[in-house]
């Protein structure tokens, strides 16, 4: 079984991006800039944002974090986004989710200029992705896609099952696999027989949030299995896939941690650079 090393893949991607930033700098005499807005003091969000900032600096991006307390008014955040939209030194804007209850998430997402939407959540980017046009692609599914392509460059005609239909993961993942000419089944909490669906799959992407939901006897021999889940349990962090069981049948499998997670941040940097490049045309 191939253990898909997300840490290594992410380090390779960051090294490529670092070179690209250096080339862009010599060509345009400026570097792509990422601005993250962090609201409140939720520990996981703070850790994510710190890691994003560290990785951005590592590849040579200009990075900035704007912090607001939990009590910040929605209007203040929307005004700041408008300011960043018209700031030429800012290539990408990311508002770290979740947001406090009094702030309308969709309003915030839609306030970001689609050409600076490095999360790929703006309806314009969602629509472009589903129509097969150029767009920002949500970072986690983009990371999964790049890992799958490393194992199997030609996905045409493969059967893929995506477990979970969130806007963040399942839906964009489905679009990326469709674009590669996979036959895609998207499954969710109301799917009648998830095991039977998974047993058909050459590729499984699990993004559910239920510890070890996908079991060893759900896997067709030699399937590629990508585990997006990050679940805190008494035994530590586990994915949505039962690693020990599935590793016996799968051709390739991502571990948790060390699989999809590191690729998510590397893809955020890639999206920032891609936004910059599109803005220079």
Interface ranges with ligand NAD (CB under 6 A) = 140, 163-166, 168-170, 187-189, 191, 194, 207-210, 228-231, 260-261, 264
CB-based contact 135:176 (threshold 8 Å): no
DSSP code for 273: H
- Answer yes or no: 96 catalytic: yes
Q: Which of 52, 80, 116, 158 is catalytic?
A: 52
What's the Cα-to-Cα distance from 76 to each of 29, 84, 104, 164, rounded to whole Å?
A: 32, 12, 13, 34
Nearer residue to ligand NAD within complex by CB, 90 or 186: 186
Min dist. Cβ of residue 88 to ligand NAD (A): 30
Min dist. Cβ of residue 166 to ligand NAD (A): 3
- Answer yes or no: 274 catalytic: no
In whole angstroms, what is the distance from residue 128 CA to residue 114 CA? 11
What's the Cα-to-Cα distance from 50 to each of 105, 118, 259, rounded to whole Å?
A: 22, 17, 19
| CB proximity list for 37: less than 8 A, separation 6 or greater | 65, 66, 68, 77, 80, 81, 93, 94, 95, 96
CB-based contact 190:208 (threshold 8 Å): no
Min dist. Cβ of residue 245 to ligand NAD (A): 17
How many residues does this entry show for the chain?
281
Residue with tokens 């790929």: 120
Nearer residue to ligand NAD within complex by CB, 45 or 166: 166
Nearer residue to ligand NAD within complex by CB, 158 or 165: 165
In whole angstroms, what is the distance from residue 227 CA to residue 147 CA? 11
Nearer residue to ligand NAD within complex by CB, 59 or 198: 198
| CB proximity list for 47: less than 8 A, separation 6 or greater | none
Nearer residue to ligand NAD within complex by CB, 112 or 256: 256
Min dist. Cβ of residue 165 to ligand NAD (A): 4
Q: Which of 80, 116, 117, 119 is catalytic?
A: 119
- Answer yes or no: 119 catalytic: yes
Min dist. Cβ of residue 209 to ligand NAD (A): 4
Catalytic residues: 52, 96, 119
């Amino acid at each position: 079984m191939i253990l898909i090393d997300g840490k290594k893949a992410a380090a390779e991607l960051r090294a490529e991006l670092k070179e690209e930033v250096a080339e862009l700098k010599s060509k345009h005499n400026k570097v792509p800039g990422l601005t993250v807005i962090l609201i409140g003091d939720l520990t996981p969000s703070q850790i994510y944002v710190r890691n994003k900032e560290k990785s951005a600096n590592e590849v040579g991006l200009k990075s900035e974090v704007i912090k607001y307390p939990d009590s910040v008014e929605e209007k203040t955040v929307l005004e700041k986004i408008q300011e960043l939209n018209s700031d030429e030194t800012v290539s990408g804007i990311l508002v770290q989710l979740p947001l406090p209850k009094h702030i309308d998430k969709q309003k915030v997402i839609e306030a970001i200029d689609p050409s600076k939407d490095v999360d790929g959540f703006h309806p314009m980017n969602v629509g472009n992705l589903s129509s097969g046009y150029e767009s920002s692609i949500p970072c986690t599914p983009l990371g999964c896609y790049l890992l799958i392509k490393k194992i199997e460059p030609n996905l045409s005609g493969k059967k893929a099952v995506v477990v979970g239909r969130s806007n963040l993961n399942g839906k964009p993942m489905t679009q990326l696999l469709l674009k590669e000419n996979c036959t895609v089944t998207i499954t969710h909490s109301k799917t009648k027989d998830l095991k039977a669906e998974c047993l058909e799959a050459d590729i499984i992407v699990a993004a559910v949030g239920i510890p070890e939901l996908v079991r060893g006897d759900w896997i067709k021999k030699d399937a590629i299995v990508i585990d997006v889940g990050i679940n805190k349990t008494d035994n530590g962090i586990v994915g949505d896939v039962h690693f020990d069981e599935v590793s016996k049948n799968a051709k390739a499998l991502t571990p948790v941690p060390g699989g999809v997670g590191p690729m998510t941040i590397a893809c955020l940097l890639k999206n920032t650079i891609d936004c910059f490049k599109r803005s220079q045309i």
